[in-house]
C-alpha cells in the first residue's frame, strides 16, 4: 500500500514516518510513504505558498497553484483510490473508516496549514475530507499521521502478532480493552489481580470480558454527560 502526502511542513512528517510501526512496515515493503514538499511546486524567487484571504480576515491561506502542480504531477503517475484532505469539517475518522481505507492500494493525503487551503484545491481533487476529532489542530500533517498509523497497522504482516489488530480496542464488541499487566506480580505494594496468575483461561477470559464491559459503560456515561 502506498501513501503520498503533500505537505507544507515535511519535517513534521519525516520524523514520525522514520520511526516505529510505519518505518517497520516500510522496511518489510508492506507500505511505502512518499512526502512531497509543497514548496518544491511553488514559483518565483520566494517560493511563496500562501497568501492573504480574499474578502479579508486574519491568517494566511495556502495558494492553489503549488497544490495543482503537485497533485497533477502525481496523478500523471498513478491513480489514487482516495484523495484525502484532513480537516475538522470532515467525516469522522474511526476504526470502521480505518478498516475501509486499509483495503485500498494508493492514498493521497493533502495537508492544510495556517488558516486553511484555497477551496478550489478541495473542489478539484479531494474525494474525502476526514476529521480526527472535534478540535482544531495547527496543521493537517498531524491528522495525516494519525490516519496513516491507524491504517498501516491493519495491513497484514505489519504487526508482529497477526492476531493483534483484530483483538484491538474498538475492533472488539465492547469497544474497549481489558486492563493488562506484566511482571513483576507485585510492584510498590500494587498487586496484579490473582485471577491472571491462576492459569485458568476460562476464568481469565470471563474476568477480561467483565472488565472491558465495565470500562465501556463508564466511558460511555462520561461521554454522554459531557
Ligand atoms: N486539521 C486541523 N484540525 C483537524 C482535525 N481535527 N482533524 C483533521 N484535520 C485537521
Reported as a pLDDT band with limits 50, 70 and 90, residue 174 is low
Averaged pLDDT, 109-134: 95
Write out the three cell numbers for 161: 502478532
Averaged pLDDT, 150-163: 85
Q: Is 110 found in the same domain as 61?
A: yes
Q: What is the pLDDT of residue 172?
A: 61
Residue predicted with more confidence, 172 or 23: 23
| For residue 164, pLDDT beyond 90 | no
Averaged pLDDT, 195-220: 95
Q: Is residue 161 part of a domain?
A: no
d(CA 122, CA 47): 22
Among residues 133, 152, 171, which one ends one of the domains? 152
Reported as a pLDDT band with limits 50, 70 and 90, residue 144 is very high
d(CA 149, CA 144): 9
Provide residues with CB under 6 Å of ligand 1.
Answer: 86-88, 131-133, 135-137, 140, 143
CA 153 to ligand 1 center in whole angstroms: 21
Q: Is residue 173 part of a domain?
A: no
| Residue closest by Cα to atom 5 of ligand 1 | 88
Number of domains in the chain: 2
CA 10 to ligand 1 center in whole angstroms: 17
Q: Is residue 159 part of a domain?
A: no
Q: Is 191 found in the same domain as 132?
A: no
CA 133 to ligand 1 center in whole angstroms: 7
pLDDT tens digit string along 37-91? Answer: 999 999 999 999 999 999 999 999 999 999 999 999 999 999 999 999 999 999 9
Cα atoms in the Cβ-side hemisphere of radius 13 Å centred on 212: 19
pLDDT tens digit string along 181-206? Answer: 999 999 999 999 999 999 999 999 99
Reported as a pLDDT band with limits 50, 70 and 90, residue 175 is low
CA 142 to ligand 1 center in whole angstroms: 8
Task: Verify cis geometry, omega within 30 degrees of 0, for the bond prior to 147.
Answer: no
Q: What is the CATH number of the domain that holds 135?
A: 3.40.1280.10
Q: Is 197 found in the same domain as 147?
A: no
Show Cβ contacts of residue 10 under 8 Å, excluding neighbours closer than 6 positions: 35, 37
Among residues 126, 152, 178, which one ends one of the domains? 152
CA 86 to ligand 1 center in whole angstroms: 6
Q: Is 73 found in the same domain as 122?
A: yes
Q: Is 108 found in the same domain as 31?
A: yes
Q: Is 216 found in the same domain as 139?
A: no
Q: What is the pLDDT of residue 155?
A: 95
- Mean pLDDT rounded to a whole number for the chain: 93
Q: What are phi and psi of 108, to 5 degrees?
A: -115, 125
Which residues make beta-bridge pairs with 108? Answer: 4, 83
Domain of residue 39 covers: 2-152
Evaluate whether 23 touches 128 at the Cβ level (below 8 Å): no
Mutate to test the pocket of ligand 1, among 142, 144, 145 (most ligand atoms within 8 A of CB): 142
Of 111-120, 121-130, 193-202, 206-215, the least confident: 111-120
d(CA 87, CA 81): 19
Q: Is 105 found in the same domain as 12?
A: yes
d(CA 169, CA 178): 9
**pTM of the entire predicted model:** 0.91
Amino acid at each position: 500500500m502506498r501513501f503520498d502526502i503533500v505537505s507544507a511542513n515535511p519535517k513534521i512528517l519525516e520524523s514520525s514516518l522514520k520511526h516505529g510501526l510505519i518505518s517497520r512496515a516500510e522496511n518489510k515493503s508492506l507500505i511505502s510513504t512518499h512526502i512531497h514538499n509543497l514548496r518544491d511546486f511553488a514559483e518565483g524567487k520566494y517560493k511563496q505558498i500562501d497568501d492573504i484571504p480574499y474578502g479579508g480576515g486574519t491568517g494566511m491561506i495556502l495558494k492553489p497553484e503549488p497544490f495543482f502542480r503537485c497533485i497533477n504531477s502525481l496523478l500523471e503517475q498513478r491513480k489514487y483510490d482516495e484523495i484525502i484532505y484532513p480537516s475538522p469539517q470532515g467525516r469522522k475518522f474511526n476504526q470502521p473508516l480505518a478498516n475501509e481505507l486499509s483495503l485500498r492500494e494508493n492514498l493521497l493525503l493533502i495537508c492544510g496549514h495556517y488558516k486553511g487551503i484555497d477551496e478550489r484545491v478541495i473542489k478539484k481533487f479531494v474525494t474525502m475530507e476526514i476529521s480526527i476529532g472535534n478540535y482544531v489542530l495547527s496543521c493537517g500533517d498531524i491528522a495525516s499521521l494519525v490516519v496513516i498509523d491507524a491504517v498501516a497497522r491493519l495491513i497484514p504482516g505489519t504487526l508482529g502478532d497477526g492476531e493483534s489488530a483484530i483483538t484491538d480496542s474498538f475492533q472488539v464488541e465492547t469497544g474497549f480493552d481489558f486492563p493488562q499487566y506484566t511482571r513483576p506480580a507485585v510492584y510498590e505494594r500494587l498487586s496484579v489481580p490473582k485471577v491472571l496468575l491462576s492459569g485458568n483461561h476460562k476464568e481469565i477470559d470471563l474476568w477480561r470480558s467483565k472488565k472491558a464491559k465495565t470500562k465501556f459503560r463508564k466511558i460511555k456515561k462520561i461521554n454522554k454527560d459531557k
